[in-house]
Amino acid sequence: MKKIVSSINPILKNIIILLSISIILKIAYLTLSVIIQPEENSYTIKSYENIIFRNDAGWYKDIAQKSYPEIREKKLIGYSYKEEFHQSSWAFFPMYPLTNKLLMILLHIDYKTAGLLSSLLFSFLSIIGLYYFCELYLKNSELSLYISLVFLLFPFHYYYSVMYTEAIFFTFLIFSFIAVLKKKYLLLSVLLIPLVLTRPNGIILLVPLYLFYLEQQGLLSTKKISLKKIFGLKNILRSLMFLTGPLAFAAFCYYQHSKTGYYFAFSIAQAGWYKSFMFPLLSLFRVGGFQSQFNSVYIIVVIVFTILIWKKNTWSFNILIVLSLLLPMCSGSVVSIQRYISIIFPLYIVLGTYLYKIKLKYLVLGLLFSMQLFMFYFWIIADPFSY
C-alpha cells in the first residue's frame, strides 16, 4: 500500500488527502448533529440534507423553484424600519439557485438533493482550487497542502459544506486566479460570468483579479508600474477578456429592471436585512448582543492582521483583502462577516505560511478542527450567530 501511495504524483496525493479530510469533516458534521439533536437527525443522506439546509438556504430554494418575483413597488423589494421589515429574494444572486435548478431538471431530483450534490461538488473544487493555486504560486507542495488544510479546517469554514454560496463563489474566484497564472485567458473569460452572477462582490473583485493579471504580465509590482505598457494597445486588446464579467453583470441588472423597474434591485433589497450604506467603521459595535460584539472584534483582528502583513503581499492581494472587508462594513451590518472573510484567500496563505514554520503546526490543525465543530453547533441549532 505504501508503495502505491508513494508512486502517486505528489500533487494528486495531496489532493486525495484534502478530499479525504473534507469527507471526514462532513461525517463529523453529521455525527455532531445526531449527538445534539438525536430526535431530529440520524445517519442518513436525507438527515444530512436537512442539516446543511438552514437559515438563508430557503431563499435560494425559492428562487430555484419560483424564480424572482415581479415587484413594482420599491418598498416590497426590501425595507426595514425599527421592528418592521420586508425581505425579498432579490437580495440574492442567481448563479447558485440556477445551478441547483439545472441539477433538479437533469437528474429529476428535489431541491435539497440538488443542493447536496452541488455543495459536495463545489466544496471539493474550492479546496482543490486553493491547493492548486498555492502549488503554482508558491511552488512548494507541502506548504501548499498545509495552507489548504488551514483553510479547510478554519473555524468558520463549515460554510463551504452547506447550501450557501461560499463554495461556488470561491471556486470560480480561485480558478479565475489560476487561469491568469496559467495564461488560460479564454477559460478566464468564461469563469468571470458565473463569478459575477454568484454574489454582488464578484463584480468588485474583478479589480484585484485584473491587478493580479498585470502583476503576472510584469506590468505592475510593489516597486514599479509600467503605465506606458498598461495603456498600450497590446495590453488593452488582451484586457478585453475581462469584459465578460461586466457584461454578465449588466445583463442581470437589465433583468432586474425588467422585473422591478430598478437596475440594482439586489442593493435595494438589502434594506430588508437592516443594511444601509455608511462609513465602514460605524458598522462596528453598532448594536448590542454577543453576535454583533464578537463579529466586530473579529473584524478588528483581521484588520490588524492585514496591516501587519501588508508589505508581505502584492498589490492585488492587498486590494482583494481591503475590498472584501470594506464592502460588508459599508452596509452598516457585521452580520455574516465570517462568511465574507472566508473567501479572502491571501489571508490564509500568509497565516498558513506562518503556522507551517512552528513546531506544533499539526496540533494547530487539530485545534482548528475542534473549533470548527464547535462553531458548527450554532449552525445545527440555527442560532443567529451562524447567519
Task: State the Cα–Cα distance between residues 173 and 202, nearest whole angstrom.
Answer: 8
DSSP letter assigned to residue 164: S
- 8 Å CB contact between 277 and 330: yes
φ, ψ dihedrals at 72, nearest 5°: -110, 0
pLDDT digits (tens, 9 = 90+) for 144-175: 999 999 999 999 999 999 999 999 999 999 99
Contacts (Cβ under 8 Å, ≥6 apart) of 335: 273, 291, 292, 295, 384, 387
The C-alpha cell at 180 is: 491568469
pTM of the entire predicted model: 0.94
Task: State the Cα–Cα distance between residues 111 and 65, nearest whole angstrom.
Answer: 8
Residue-by-residue DSSP string for 88-136: -GGGS-SHHHHHHHHHHHHHT--HHHHHHHHHHHHHHHHHHHHHHHHHH
3-class secondary structure, 220: strand
pLDDT digits (tens, 9 = 90+) for 235-272: 899 899 999 999 999 999 999 999 999 999 999 999 98
- 8 Å CB contact between 329 and 306: no
| Number of C-beta neighbours around residue 188 at 10 A | 23
- 8 Å CB contact between 280 and 326: yes
Q: What is the pLDDT of residue 102?
A: 97
Could you report how far apart the first and last alpha carbons of the chain are, in Å? 44
Q: What is the pLDDT of residue 90?
A: 95
Q: Which residues of the chain have pLDDT under 50?
A: 1-2, 4-5
Task: State the Cα–Cα distance between residues 148 and 258, nearest whole angstrom.
Answer: 42
In the chain, at which residue ranges do the beta strands (DSSP E only) sit? Answer: 79-81, 84-86
Q: What is the pLDDT of residue 278?
A: 84
The C-alpha cell at 188 is: 478566464
Q: What angle do the packed helices 345-356 and 361-380 form, to 10 degrees?
A: 140
| Number of C-beta neighbours around residue 327 at 10 A | 16
HSE-up (13 A, CA, CB side) for residue 217: 22
One-letter identity of residue 143: L
Largest CA distance in the chain: 67
Q: What is the pLDDT of residue 336?
A: 84
3-class secondary structure, 354: helix
Of 152, 127, 113, the residue nearest 28 (C-alpha): 152
- 8 Å CB contact between 150 and 348: yes
| Number of C-beta neighbours around residue 99 at 10 A | 22
